[in-house]
Structure 1
Amino acid sequence: MKNIVPALVAAAGLFATPYMAYASADFSASLLSGSRIINGTQSAKNQWPFMAVLVTKGSNTVYSGQLCDGTFLGGRYVLTAAHCVVDEYTGKKTSANTLQVAIGVFDLKSSSAKKKLVNVSKIYSHPKYDGIVNDIAILKLAKEVSGTKVQLASQDLVNALQNGNTTTAIGWGATSATEDIYPAKLRQVDMPFVEWQTCQNLNSEYLSVDESNVCAGYLEGGKATCYGDSGGPLVYKDNGVYKQIGIDSWTGGDCAQANAYDVFTNVAYYTDWINNIMNN
């Protein structure tokens, strides 16, 4: 998801906004290279075969070129966050020919990861993305890929979730918010679901949260997503099947800090938009 961390941007001398697991365009490659799953665990190999990683084309390795995460929708399409491919300050979209995607990867440093890279032919970002709201995008690949596609949650399922239901965020990244430790193998963290109304009422940073979002996290902090986990999924196990309910978007505090939930784009809210792109 896209996390906007005030502490990070203040240290960079840039701007003061809510905090994003920001990985957009060239900015992410230099300042926020690498994602973070804080106090999570390493995933099992092949546990999440629908996972995708966005990479700067021409990078020496998938690990060194990782920009954002995503999920495989099947065929030629990958779901991610708009802030991964659109500069939220200039509105400029990343050129498709500068990106590649690898699907079904576990270890970003493995030789097999680089062999799975596929060029991106087109980027569809939500036309009403404004830096925080409508943080969703779809990448069209240059060729079809065979693999396990993610199951997307319905709005009925999302509506049935309650505060405290266990959800899981998945991504590649550092295991600390204070040290540059970036494991290459996929990680995950369980977090309690937070209804958007509860999330919105947390504090002034969260007033923009609405039904187009879902939230997750611990009010006391300690476990969360962070830098570069942008675009990755939040999943919920529904009758034995993991379904994606969210896209990693932003948080109102530093990594895993108290009194700050992680905010995700509600995938089900955008079902029609997703289908229109894929069936165009």
Structure 2
Amino acid sequence: MKIGDANLHNSSLPSLKENQKSLDKQKKSKNFKSKLSSLSKTTKILICSTVILALSILITIIILLSLLATVPCNVIKCHSKASKCINNWFKVECICDYGYQGDGFKYCDECGLTSVSKNVKIIGGIEAMAHSWPSSVYLRFSYRGNVDIKLTNGTVVTVYAQQNGLCGGSLIDRKHVLTAAHCIRPVLKLKLDNKDYYVRAKINNDFPTLESMYKLYFEVHNLSKVTSSQVYSIKEIIAHENYDESTILNDIAILKLDKEVELNERIQLACLPNYSLELYPSDVNIKSWVQGWGLIEQANKTLPSSLQNVQVTIYDMSYCTQMYPRVPKSPSSQICAGDVTGEKGSCFGDSGGALFILDKIDEKSKFVAVGLVSYGNGSCTTVNLGQIYTRISYFSKWIQSKKFLD
């Protein structure tokens, strides 16, 4: 019996060990599953957090893109001197405050600055003080090449033409000059068999674009002392799309420069009317000044060597209605100005130059460009008749929209 009991006891030992091993394995398995379960929960939390973060970022991007698309003024910051912002699709128009000119982002430069006093107290036309109108720009047209002339009998002949022309303009920011639309119509006056013919200049190898026919000169006072360093090329000419050569309405154009102008004592910006005012000035019988390199003696076709300025008066449009009575006048988009005594005014070559009035901007007296020389009655000065200027304030939004296209 004892021997049998011993054998029974010995035979149960392996079974107990196996059971213990099985229990250990089960315990380890439970621990592993527990760890695995714990790890899975952490991973799930991490994945969920990542998804939530990604969705949050995506939603934020969508919101920002929506804001940028619909109300970009809430996202993009304008210049500190550009308090007016206009929303456009994915782009904003930042408009410099009155008294400043620029793109509204990188710069809003103070306008109307000058280091030389103007001799505007002299009523009659006279040579301006050198560089006293630092926003004035000399616009020169040059052309040479073959053009076609249609004779009165219907025959078309080709002749070689070489001509120059001039106009004025005003620098309104570092990349744009304002002038009259009729100044950038390359029309040549040719004489053949004692008859005058007017033909348009043709694109050729020397002048492959309309822009290549024109050059802009800055820092100019005396035309005989112009240097190459003062010359700028035109990147693009933008005439008003509704300019009408028969009525001469909407006679305004913007010249985009091929590079920015560096401002200095002799190159400054002209102040334009307050963007919010469409009819400026609203008063009549007020003093104004015009300057240019145009004819000073029409009969002798005498051109001055230096910039001239003259004081004229802004009149009611009725003073201009008798000038070309069949040509419609627009008091909202044009200004009538001149000298009813017929002694002074603008003339050929002054076209595109600015008409200025003296006004207060931020408590400072400054000259504001209110008009562009457009046309007269052909004799430059005539008693009881004024001359027509394009009213700049009427085109403020058009000017801004074309600058905005840069």
Question: Shorter-chain TM-score: what band?
Answer: 0.7 to 0.9
Map 1:110-125 → 2, pairs under 5 A = 110-112=225-227, 114-125=228-239
1:83 aligns with 2:182: yes
1:47 aligns with 2:132: yes
- C-alpha distance in 2 between matches for 1:57 and 1:142: 18
Q: Indicate the residue corresponding to 1:278 in structure 2.
A: 403
Aligned to 1:97, the other structure's residue is in SS state helix
For residue 313 of structure 2, the aligned residue among 192, 196, 203 is 192
Larger proportion of helix: 2
Shift of 1:121: 1.2
Q: Indicate the residue corresponding to 1:17 in structure 2.
A: none
Equivalent residue pairs, number: 238
For residue 144 of structure 1, the aligned residue among 260, 267, 287 is 260
Shift of 1:50: 0.4
User: 1:30-73 deviations in whole A, cap 9, x for unaligned?
Assistant: xxxxxxxx9501111121000011113589xxxx9551110001
For residue 210 of structure 1, the aligned residue among 307, 324, 331 is 331
1:175 aligns with 2:296: yes
- C-alpha distance in 1 between matches for 2:216 and 2:181: 15
- C-alpha distance in 1 between matches for 2:297 and 2:281: 33
Highest RCO, 1 vs 2 (Cα 8 Å, sep ≥ 6): 1
Change (3 A) 1:190 1:141: same
Paired residues of 2:355 and 2:370 also in contact (CA < 8 A): yes
Question: Which of structures 1 and 2 has the bigger CA Rg?
Answer: 2
TM-score (norm 1): 0.76
Query: Which range moves more in the overlay, 142-151 or 193-202?
Result: 193-202
Aligned to 2:138, the other structure's residue is in SS state strand
- C-alpha distance in 2 between matches for 1:213 and 1:92: 29
Aligned to 1:204, the other structure's residue is in SS state coil
State the AA in 2 paired with 1:249.
S
Shift of 1:220: 2.5
- C-alpha distance in 1 between matches for 2:351 and 2:399: 18
Structure 1 residue runs without a partner (length 5+): 1-37
Shift of 1:159: 4.2
TM-score (norm 2): 0.54
- C-alpha distance in 2 between matches for 1:248 and 1:209: 15
- C-alpha distance in 2 between matches for 1:111 and 1:92: 25
Aligned to 2:223, the other structure's residue is in SS state coil
User: 1:19-39 deviations in whole A, cap 9, x for unaligned?
Assistant: xxxxxxxxxxxxxxxxxxx95
Q: Indicate the residue corresponding to 1:104 in structure 2.
A: 219
